[in-house]
Structure 1
Amino acid sequence: MTKKSKSAPAKATATPSSSGAGTRTSDGKSPAGKAGGNAKADAAHLNTTNNALVDHAYLSEAEFGTVAETLQRNLATTISLYLKFKKYHWDIRGRFFRDLHLAYDEFIEEIFPGIDEQAERLVALGGSPIAAPADIARYSVVQVPTETVRDARVQVSDLVADLTRVGKGFRDDSQTVDDANDPATADMYNGYAQTVDKIRWMLQAMMDDERMN
């Protein structure tokens, strides 16, 4: 008597997300976890097989989504702020050239570590930073100038406005991620807010020099 062979169980098919993502990954396999790839998704949640195992540690998926959005935005903003300081560092001319040329690099040294720290924090929570130039520009709240600005007062005034916005953003996001059960990221943001506030104060104080008019 011939035994009937057991048929292999059918593979589960993922339900399409509300963002319109497909039910399969690029190589035809079923993705695990939440997939979407919409504008607010971090790279670890794009619809690809290699991102199937995403562990958010003690955060729920919803909490991670909240925290990841702030980390992605602040990462892009910090990169843009670094590039803007460098652009003005290269372009500054006139009587304040030496003071600002050197000061901008000193401020960069304080800002720069936050780039790696925020990216690695996102990875540690089961995410992955989106870092293509177009994505940096899309997420950042700081715009890197494409034109040449040589005037000291114009540069400093522009940076003070940016730092005011960035400092407030870190403060607000600290509260947001704390409410999302992530006090560690909140502590990071509090430290960045303090650094940004200090740099803003120093630049604003320079504008009190009448020779800058």
Structure 2
Amino acid sequence: MSITAANFPYLAGSPAVSKTRSSVSPDLDTPTDLDTADVAKVSAALNALLADAFALYLKTKNFHWHISGRHFRDYHLLLDEQSDQIFATTDVLAERVRKIGGNTIRSIGNIAKLQTIKDNDEKFVPPREMLRELMNDNKKVAAAMRKAHKVCDDAEDVASASVLENFIDETERRTWFLFEATRQEGGNEA
């Protein structure tokens, strides 16, 4: 699979797609045995995930701070735990990019250009809607991770693929917990 706007539409016009190792500062040019084109592809895929991780982290924290209602304590703690887990992925993803000789995202503006997770700036969101939105966002992140995993596999970047396998499992667990928290009593629908 190639990193193109067709396969990763959120990367259309992104400098991360067209970057080559020659665009890396000589002072930051980490030695690697990966092909230059593969470094660019894997870096683009991981940077897109990194942007979404920051966006999902902030949205999860936002909902954690603004949750209300009779399940306040349970939801507040759940979202705090999930936001910590999401934030923990950011350093690992960024360091994978650097380990293979790529450039990472550098600013909030860069995140905004790459993120596919939509912000939620509403003044009030009912608790179940918060959880449903986060559940769907986590499903979207898991799907993007699977696509990025394929890019890593194609580049024979076993280490990045391995990291993503663990992150996919964590993301699926978050999705599951959010699904269960939104279910109606006695029903199987969220």
Among 91, 98, 101, the alignment partner of 1:116 is 91
Distance 1:57 1:44 in 2: 11
Give the TM-score taking structure 2 as reference length: 0.82
Amino acid at match of 2:112: A
Is the aligned partner of 1:172 residue 2:144? no
Equivalent position of 1:52 in the other structure: 26
Structure 1 CA distance for aligned equivalents of residues 122 and 21 of structure 2: 35
More helix as a share of residues:
2
Question: Which residue does the alignment assign to 1:155?
Answer: 130
Gaps of at least 5 residues in structure 2 are 1-13
User: Gaps spanning 5+ residues in structure 1: where?
Assistant: 1-36
Give the TM-score, by structure 1 length: 0.74
* Distance across 1 between alignment mates of 2:170 and 2:124: 25
Alpha-carbon shift at residue 44 of structure 1 (Å): 7.2
RMSD: 2.3
Identify if the C-alpha distance between structure 1 residues 147 and 180 changes in structure 2 by more than 3 Å, giving closer, same or farther: same
1:183 is matched with which residue: 158, 172, 186? 158
The structure whose RCO (Cα within 8 Å, separation 6+) is larger is: 2
Deviation per CA, 1:154-201, whole angstroms, max 9, x where unpaired? Answer: 101111111111111112211221111201100111110000000100
Question: Does the aligned pair in 1 maintain the 2:16–2:40 contact within 8 Å?
Answer: no
The aligned residue for residue 10 of structure 2 is none
**Secondary structure in 2 matching 1:58:** coil
Contact 1:70 1:173 in 2 (8 A): yes
Per the alignment, residue 30 of structure 1 pairs with none
User: Percent of pairs identical after alignment?
Assistant: 29
Quick check: 1:91–1:148 contact (8 Å CA) kept in 2?
Answer: no
